[in-house]
Structure 1
Amino acid sequence: MGRTSDARERILDSSRRLMRTRGYTALGVAEICADAGVKKGSFYYFFDSKQALTVETVDGHWAEERRVLEAALAEPAGPVERLRALVECLIGTQRTDHSESGAIHGCLYGNLALELSGQEPQVRRRLAEVFDEQVGMVARLIGAAREAGLVGREAGADALARSMVAQIEGTVLLARVRNDPALLDEVWPSVERLLGLA
């Protein structure tokens, strides 16, 4: 049996880390390959293009993040507590980044969405799907909180969930610009006001 190469996984790992810290446009295939310790020919053996790599990078990042979120949502707690756990999971990476490197790198999906707003349609479609899945998770929790009489019925759960995800993304963006993790402390109180929990 031949030796199994981990070159593909190394390329994906490097891509995910470098795209979070450097962005998409400033990052070249040669730099990704150098960081991963693989030859450029290996890149094109596994990926048709940088755009294809980016879609797979988003897929892998979301698969890992979704597992963490689903574990938090499986906790035997009330819907508001699970909603808060979901919020903490979504912003927790930023706190970890700052404590480990002194910098907030932002959300991979939000960073790519801002950078690629008018280009790379495959990447934008995949990002939209990821955000839709996040909104769906939040909407289900808001629906459960409503059933428990904890949240009013003035606005639809989907609209509230979209507002909540946008609020998280916006706060992460501001925290990144200022490199100030203290701004992340504002997310949950803002969610409480949005949902009428405060």
Structure 2
Amino acid sequence: MPRPANPETRSRLLEKGGDLVSTRGFNATGVQEITAAAGVPKGSFYNYFDSKEAFAVAVLTEYWEAVVAEFGAILNQGQTPPLSRITRYFAGLAEFHERRRYAVGCLIGNMALEVTPTSEDVRIKLAAIYREWSAALASCLREAQENGELSAGKDPGQLAVALIDTFEGAVMRAKVERSRAPFDSFERFVLPSLLT
């Protein structure tokens, strides 16, 4: 089906609908609510997305691109030691959640829990995001090994996955407790134990 040439409408649907999905959950957010929030007729939704599932994939893409745009450069600041970059990276992500008052959590983690049991397309998108996230961290960790900051006996790929998994756990706990305490624990206990 041909797509209309109105990128502003699509962007509005993604922005407003993404906000709703972040705060209410994917399954609790209907197409009518998404279009109402974006100020477009309900039928317009399907001019931009083949299904609500396709919308979920697009929302995840937008969310991940925003995270990379805001925080990704931290991992590539060559003048800063690699392990300091990783610490700053996770501190930045924690501050992002703090600005949102811990109420929303991480859309990636939220969608992984809520939608992957029923949507293969969303699961595939999330797997790609986790691979990209892991690769970015692993690259920085390899650099730390080359500089002698990180033990040569540690596997950068596995360590990157462990960092993401424990951080995502801290995000979920912060959402439940509406508190920074899980991020403080991550910074005080997890980072030092994994990065030494």
The partner residue of 1:94 within 90, 97, 107 is 97
Q: Deviations over 1:136-166 (max 9, x none)?
A: 1111111111111111123311111100100
Structure 1 unaligned spans of 5+: none
1:5: Cα distance to partner? 6.3
Query: CA contact under 8 A between 1:175 and 1:181: conserved in structure 2?
Result: yes
CA–CA distance in 2 between the matches of 1:8 and 1:139? 34
Equivalent residue runs for 1:25-104 within 5 Å: 25-75=27-77, 76-98=79-101, 103-104=102-103
CA–CA distance in 2 between the matches of 1:48 and 1:133? 26
Q: Deviations over 1:13-70 (max 9, x none)?
A: 0121111111111111011111111111110111111000110111111112112223
CA–CA distance in 2 between the matches of 1:68 and 1:5? 22
RMSD of aligned residue pairs (Cα, Å): 1.6
CA–CA distance in 2 between the matches of 1:93 and 1:32? 24
CA–CA distance in 1 between the matches of 2:76 and 2:106? 23
CA–CA distance in 2 between the matches of 1:177 and 1:45? 37
Q: Which moved more, 1:24-33 or 1:83-92?
A: 83-92
Partner residue, 1:194: 194
Q: Which moved more, 1:183-192 or 1:120-129?
A: 183-192
Partner residue, 1:126: 125
CA–CA distance in 1 between the matches of 2:72 and 2:9? 29
CA separation of 1:194/1:5 partners in 2, compared to 1, >3 Å: closer, same or farther? Answer: closer
Partner residue, 2:116: 117
Query: CA contact under 8 A between 1:19 and 1:27: conserved in structure 2?
Result: yes
Counterpart code for 1:118: P
CA–CA distance in 2 between the matches of 1:41 and 1:14? 16
Counterpart code for 2:163: M
Query: CA contact under 8 A between 2:49 and 2:55: conserved in structure 1?
Result: yes
1:91: Cα distance to partner? 2.3
CA–CA distance in 2 between the matches of 1:163 and 1:70? 18
The answer on 1:24 being equivalent to 2:26 is: yes
Q: Which moved more, 1:32-41 or 1:68-77?
A: 68-77
Q: TM-score, normalising length from structure 1?
A: 0.90
Equivalent residue runs for 1:132-143 within 5 Å: 132-143=131-142
